[in-house]
């Protein structure tokens, strides 16, 4: 009998995942990860991880499976929290959820599971795993979940073949309403529980307060750039090569105070991200102000009015070669090669038509349509049909 360790988070998805595995005849062990808890920055007084681990325990008891809690807060702090601070400090916007899956759930947690004699690790993600044979080898595929509304394959875009080989996603074939229905029928305590928001396992954290612990406030100016600024009407340049053009198109516009007018003050450019609208506290504009750029060196924030402001859009982004990751290693592009894909730059975005170009200078993702708020530090992931084949950090 194969043994599976399920990451029971105290939510409905992982509860049902555990039940389905048991039904399929696996020997199931429930494991709750305590990842990080710092009372000074959580929004509510309730202690979310205690409540969640208690729910997870009750679910395990109901299903009749062994249960234990593992404390991963040390590793979590080191691998996720410290990484987040250092990325924000550089003016990048990290995605802790993608990282948490790569570094914690399918690494630290997986190693613990394997040490318990597990053959597999299972989670409540809405995605599926496929297996194909290629040149006599087993190749694992990361496929979108059946529920288009909830597909979470994006969050697993950094997994490796090795990690996928040991992963199971029992609810990938179901929709969210079906999962809730199963939980109700079983009378599980998590059946009606709301989906957890906020950072992966950190509970409900106020990001600015969270960041202020490490990144000191530093007053700076907010500038507004007009949509008809000549910076957006560059003459048509001629390029000697595709690569040269891609390099040019992937570069964000660099603004200087002369391009705009001062409309307010802020407490530190490193607290803000491109495309952000809330938290600027600048009134009196006809349309809402959106952040179109932040400059960490000069501690300036540049904004534009409305979500159609030209400063928000670009159609090419670059991924540095050392941050390119192919789940399907067999599809890795060689220098000079290109590939048509569908890509997204954030979770829940519709897949967009794009072409990947691999050069010695990096991988370029060229979108058919301009994309809003391409943000450094976030992940771009690319698909062929419903298979997520690779991803990278936007540089």
**47 given a catalytic annotation:** no
CA dist 301 and 223 (Å) reads: 6
Taking Cα atoms as reference points, which of 61, 74, 72 lies closest to residue 19? 61
If one compares 204 and 178, the residue with the highest pLDDT of the two is 178
**157 given a catalytic annotation:** no
Is the pLDDT at 220 greater than 90? The verdict is yes
Per residue in 48-97, pLDDT (tens digit) is 778 889 999 999 999 999 999 999 888 988 888 888 888 888 889 888 88
Q: Residue ranges for the binding site?
A: 7-14, 33, 124
Please, what are the domains in the chain?
A: 3-212 (3.40.50.620), 220-235+253-307 (2.30.30), 312-394 (2.40.30.10)
Is the pLDDT at 46 greater than 60? The verdict is no
Helix (H, G, I), strand (E, B) or coil at 211: helix
Catalytic choice (47, 127, 157, 200)? 200
Tally of residues, the chain = 395
pLDDT band at 309 (very low <50, low <70, confident <90, very high): very high
Taking Cα atoms as reference points, which of 51, 157, 181 lies closest to residue 101? 157
pLDDT band at 206 (very low <50, low <70, confident <90, very high): low
Q: Residue ranges for the binding site for ATP?
A: 7-14, 33, 124
Is the pLDDT at 281 greater than 70? The verdict is yes
Is the pLDDT at 202 greater than 60? The verdict is no
Return the H-helix or E-strand segment holding 84: helix 82-89
CA dist 251 and 126 (Å) reads: 34
Contact at 8 Å (CB) between 390 and 339?
Answer: no
CA dist 186 and 168 (Å) reads: 22
Is the pLDDT at 265 greater than 80? The verdict is yes
């Amino acid at each position: 009998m194969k043994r599976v360790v399920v990451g029971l988070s105290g939510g409905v998805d992982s509860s049902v995942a555990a039940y389905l595995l048991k039904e399929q005849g696996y020997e199931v062990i429930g494991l709750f990860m305590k990842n990080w808890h710092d009372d000074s920055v959580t929004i509510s007084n309730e202690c979310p991880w205690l409540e969640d681990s208690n729910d997870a325990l009750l679910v395990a008891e109901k299903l009749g499976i062994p249960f234990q809690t593992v404390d991963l807060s040390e590793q979590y702090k080191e691998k996720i929290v410290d990484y987040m601070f250092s990325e924000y400090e550089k003016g990048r916007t990290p995605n802790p959820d993608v990282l948490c899956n790569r570094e914690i759930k399918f690494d630290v947690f997986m190693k613990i599971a394997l040490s318990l004699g597990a053959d597999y690790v299972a989670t409540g993600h809405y995605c599926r795993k496929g297996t194909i044979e290629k040149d006599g080898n087993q190749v694992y595929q990361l496929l979108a979940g059946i529920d288009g509304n909830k597909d979470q394959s994006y969050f697993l875009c950094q997994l490796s073949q090795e990690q996928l080989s040991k992963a199971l996603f029992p609810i990938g074939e179901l929709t969210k309403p079906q999962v809730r229905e199963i939980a109700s029928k079983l009378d599980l305590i998590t059946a009606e529980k709301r989906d957890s928001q906020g950072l992966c396992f950190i509970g409900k954290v106020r990001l600015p307060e969270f960041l202020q612990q490490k990144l000191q406030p530093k007053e700076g100016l907010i500038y507004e750039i007009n949509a008809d600024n000549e910076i957006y009407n560059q003459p048509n340049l001629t390029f000697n090569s595709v690569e040269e053009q891609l390099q040019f198109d992937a570069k964000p516009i660099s603004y200087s105070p002369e391009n705009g007018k001062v409309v307010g003050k802020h407490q530190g450019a490193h607290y803000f991200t491109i495309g952000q609208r809330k938290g600027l506290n600048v009134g009196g504009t006809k349309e809402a102000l959106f952040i179109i750029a932040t400059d960490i060196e000069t501690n300036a924030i540049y904004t534009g009015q409305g979500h159609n402001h030209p400063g928000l859009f670009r159609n090419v982004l670059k991924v540095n070669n050392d941050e390119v990751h192919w789940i399907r290693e067999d599809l890795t592009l060689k220098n000079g090669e290109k590939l048509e894909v569908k890509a997204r730059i954030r979770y829940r975005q519709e897949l967009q038509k794009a072409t990947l170009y691999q050069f010695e200078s990096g991988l370029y993702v060229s979108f058919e349509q301009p994309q809003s708020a391409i943000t450094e530090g976030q992940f771009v992931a690319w698909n062929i049909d419903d298979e997520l084949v690779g991803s990278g950090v936007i540089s």
